[in-house]
Structure 1
């Protein structure tokens, strides 16, 4: 029985769960490590995203015999130039539109109340449960507004530490670009050649998966944002740039992001002119179809090979566990975990085939 595969698998699961239980009982030992990871998480993640976005540029420059240090300097100059252009041309327009949105918030609330009252006047078409929920929301709207204000102040208090973390991103990015190629040899130097080659293969696959996701998702989100801005601007929708920027950010979340992105545009269109809701939906469908059928297959390819139902399930589960951050990092984490599992499974299969060949 001890040599049976099912028994060994069962023992492995029992040991894993026992280890998890033991860690949960002594989690106070890991709290300093967790705090340290939380402190450096934003700089590392931010620098990692920029690393995968700028690494192709560095590789291109080195291909033409530009020294790495000068290539990194060129990349930083390009990033500074992009930042300056963004601050000069995009931020003032977005800031003005956000100010107008805040100024017109009372009008928006009145319009929403009007539509709710209009729906409530037709009691036949509204289920009692929905009607009770609407009445509960309207009676507690003041408390909801106060809660939002509390969230805003909490956000401002956290913004300071976030800005400090952002200031560390250039330092992390510099060393990632400069010494990133030394990481794999440093990790594998303590292993024998066969295991070292296996680890190198795994790290190469992980690098390919993360690069494909980050580069593809950023490019796809940018193109989709541009398409939506063109459509919103052409139809005369108010706050078109701000809504397109919001859609660009939300589209980073796979599958669910586009649905979240269109909600503010529908609300603005409903307040501006109800018929514009139809045009917003048409433009969104055209942009999404262009993205899903033309842009994503060519930009992201089949790097992730994830079924949409799997992605939605992972996002919902991660969101219930870790909130917005869980939603944001669920897909790359799952893709990396899948890559690791598939690699070790392939290694196991190769070892079995080698044993069979040896017996023959």
Structure 2
């Protein structure tokens, strides 16, 4: 009986009264409930539709909130009422949008139309250059040594292109649906953003009111650190992307590259994705420059190299700093994984999502170290 009582006390100490084991059992119970409910489609289908509907407007509103909230807080500190500050910001944004629609957008549209009209010419010139390269003596020797067949390669590329085109045409209805959802999201963003800017200070307190009193301070610290990570990334990355686009536009104008505005805007938009974005943006610039002349190609590569050096050595260290503390290799793997899982949206949200998850996991591990008793407590 003594052994039975000792085992009972030990079981209570290690399992029942152990907070970490209780936490694991709680997670297991939640996982089992989710597994059971996923087998009943009508339970999660409305939730999935709801998330797909509100996710994009919330993301866009959050991005603009982190961009505009410092201005709102600054003007509020100057004794200007918050609602008046938001109205002034909205008027400025409307003015900027009107300026873009009347001046910048027509120029971009004109260059895009010209670029599309020149695509057959570019394709023909590139094909001629490829055939000339494949007909050279060096390439013939190389092709014979590795048993390379250029005709077979061109047939493969043509088949792949046809397959991609057919797939694109078949998914046209899905594309139109995505465009409709995007337009609806853009229409609802100003309303959501207005209330976020107006009531943003109260949101953390409201969320924490659902948490137990014992963990509210810790939860507030976690939320504060997550918010800092997201705001640092959004503000910094957008400023860096704008600087890259501006510098490339100036450089392309100096060397006289065709469609410089479209190519610079494309580079600015794709630079939102770290490391992989610039590699994607350089492709159309390479095509335009190589078709123009070999000298223009060399000039474009020089301009691109200079801009990337300026961005890597001066702009990013000053604006982004080391706030995220994420290794570049980790960022690349995170972006590739998120892209395979969630598509374009996953690529855009990969880095801030990883930063938020890293904050949560690090705090959870600190809590585990403190509660499990498996680690020595350092003074």
User: TM-score normalized by structure 2?
Assistant: 0.84
5+ residue gaps, structure 2: 1-9
Structure 1 residues 160 and 188: CA distance shift in structure 2, 3 A: closer
Once superposed, what is the RMSD of the aligned Cα atoms?
3.1
Q: What do the CA deviations read for 1:85-138 (whole angstroms, capped 9, x no partner)?
A: 211221011000001011112111111211222233233335546843333114
1:69 is the counterpart of 2:83: yes
Structure 1 residues 90 and 348: CA distance shift in structure 2, 3 A: same
Q: What do the CA deviations read for 1:309-348 (whole angstroms, capped 9, x no partner)?
A: 1111111111112222211111111111001111222344
Q: Which shifted more, 183-192 or 314-323?
A: 183-192
1:274 is aligned to 294
Number of equivalences:
356
Structure 1 residues 8 and 38: CA distance shift in structure 2, 3 A: same
What is the CA–CA distance in structure 2 between the aligned matches of 1:150 and 1:285, rounded to whole Å? 40
1:124 is the counterpart of 2:138: no
What is the CA–CA distance in structure 2 between the aligned matches of 1:157 and 1:339, rounded to whole Å? 35
Q: Tell me which structure has the larger Cα radius of gyration.
A: 2
CA-CA distance at 1:306 after TM superposition: 0.4
What is the CA–CA distance in structure 2 between the aligned matches of 1:238 and 1:145, rounded to whole Å? 27
What is the CA–CA distance in structure 2 between the aligned matches of 1:55 and 1:141, rounded to whole Å? 46
1:103 is the counterpart of 2:117: yes
5+ residue gaps, structure 1: none
What is the CA–CA distance in structure 2 between the aligned matches of 1:211 and 1:348, rounded to whole Å? 28
CA-CA distance at 1:159 after TM superposition: 1.9
Structure 1 residues 232 and 117: CA distance shift in structure 2, 3 A: same
Question: Which of 119, 123, 127 matches 1:113?
Answer: 127
Structure 1 residues 109 and 152: CA distance shift in structure 2, 3 A: farther
Structure 1 residues 30 and 47: CA distance shift in structure 2, 3 A: same
1:199 is the counterpart of 2:213: no
1:317 is aligned to 337
What is the CA–CA distance in structure 2 between the aligned matches of 1:153 and 1:120, rounded to whole Å? 41
Question: Which of 318, 331, 337 matches 1:298?
Answer: 318
What is the CA–CA distance in structure 1 between the aligned matches of 2:248 and 2:171, rounded to whole Å? 29
What is the CA–CA distance in structure 2 between the aligned matches of 1:158 and 1:191, rounded to whole Å? 36
- Check whether the contact 2:266–2:281 (CA below 8 A) recurs between aligned residues: yes
CA-CA distance at 1:158 after TM superposition: 3.2
1:186 is aligned to 206
Q: What do the CA deviations read for 1:269-311 (whole angstroms, capped 9, x no partner)?
A: 1111132222222211211121122111111122111001111
CA-CA distance at 1:144 after TM superposition: 4.8
Q: Where do 4+ consecutive residues of structure 1 move more than 6 Å?
A: 11-14
